[in-house]
């Protein structure tokens, strides 16, 4: 009996040790309630986000496809790197979670929203139906920096930086194409202002420098890079 309990305890410890990087996902226990609170409370009194370029971008319901693909894109990247590359997983989580926290803080301090969504639709098809569902489920508030844009860029950076895909151009360029499509979808669906998109890009550029270039989190350095630095010294 004692042997069985000991073996079970040992198996549990081994499982936790192997998957302890998964505890980072507890971040969503902070993000989701906080975001949900903002969605419920920021409804009418907010700062309106709008730039002139917004009025020049037409509504196009077909962009609902890449917009929804964003959810699978982010989930796939986290799941893949969780299983295949812990270094890439830690960097991706650092970039995603830092940006998402900044977004929550900005939305809390500076409630914001827009009036860009069309009141009527020129066409009636399944894509318009999906857009209507999106509009009913997601308020036109808490917009910048755009997390749809920021997270898409973060995932694409992780794909291009990872050794796992260095010899897989289809994955890399496919990721880049999907990222661009998602970014465009936020504007063509009137989910975000150009301002939200630009601020999302700027935040991604800053966080890339911090997470992948400056490496303040002391992530493990790949052997190849470490060896090259030794030779340079």
Count up the domains in the chain and report the number: 1
Of residues 207, 114, 225, the one with CA closest to residue 155: 207
**Is residue 15 in some structural domain?**
no
**Is residue 1 in some structural domain?**
no
pLDDT band for 25, please (50, 70, 90 cuts): confident
**Is residue 10 in some structural domain?**
no
pLDDT band for 190, please (50, 70, 90 cuts): very high
**Is residue 38 in some structural domain?**
yes
Kindly state the tokens that stand for 202: 């700027």
- pLDDT of the residue at 184: 98
**Is residue 183 in some structural domain?**
yes
**Is residue 2 in some structural domain?**
no
**Is residue 16 in some structural domain?**
no
> Are the C-beta atoms of residues 216 and 84 closer than 8 Å to each other?
no
Kindly state the tokens that stand for 174: 């496919």
pLDDT of residue 4 exceeding 60, the answer is no
Q: What is the pLDDT of residues 52-100, one digit of tens each?
A: 999 999 999 999 999 999 999 999 999 999 999 998 999 999 999 999 9
Helix/strand number for the chain, H first, E second: 9, 2
Question: Rounded to whole angstroms, what are the CA distances from 213 to 69, 96, 209?
Answer: 29, 16, 5
**Is residue 6 in some structural domain?**
no
Domain that residue 77 falls in:
24-232
């Amino acid at each position: 009996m004692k042997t069985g309990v000991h073996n079970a305890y040992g198996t549990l410890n081994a499982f936790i040790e192997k998957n302890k990087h998964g505890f980072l996902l507890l971040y969503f226990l902070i993000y989701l309630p906080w975001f949900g609170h903002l969605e419920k409370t920021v409804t009418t009194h907010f700062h309106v986000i709008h730039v002139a370029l917004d009025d020049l971008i037409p509504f196009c319901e077909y962009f609902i496809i890449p917009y929804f693909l964003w959810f699978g894109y982010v989930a796939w990247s986290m799941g893949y790197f969780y299983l295949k590359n812990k270094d890439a997983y830690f960097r991706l989580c650092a970039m995603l979670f830092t940006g998402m926290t900044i977004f929550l803080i900005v939305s809390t301090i500076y409630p914001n929203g827009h009036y860009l969504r069309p009141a009527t639709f020129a066409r009636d098809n399944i894509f318009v139906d999906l857009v209507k569902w999106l509009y009913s489920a997601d308020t036109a508030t808490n917009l910048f920096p755009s997390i749809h844009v920021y997270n898409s860029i973060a995932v694409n950076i992780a794909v291009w930086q990872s050794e796992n895909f260095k010899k897989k151009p289809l994955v890399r360029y496919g990721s880049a194409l999907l990222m661009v499509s998602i970014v465009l979808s936020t504007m063509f669906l009137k989910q975000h202002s150009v301002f939200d998109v630009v601020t999302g890009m700027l935040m991604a550029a800053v966080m890339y420098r911090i997470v992948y270039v400056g490496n303040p989190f002391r992530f493990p350095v790949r052997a190849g890079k470490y060896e090259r630095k030794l030779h340079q010294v």
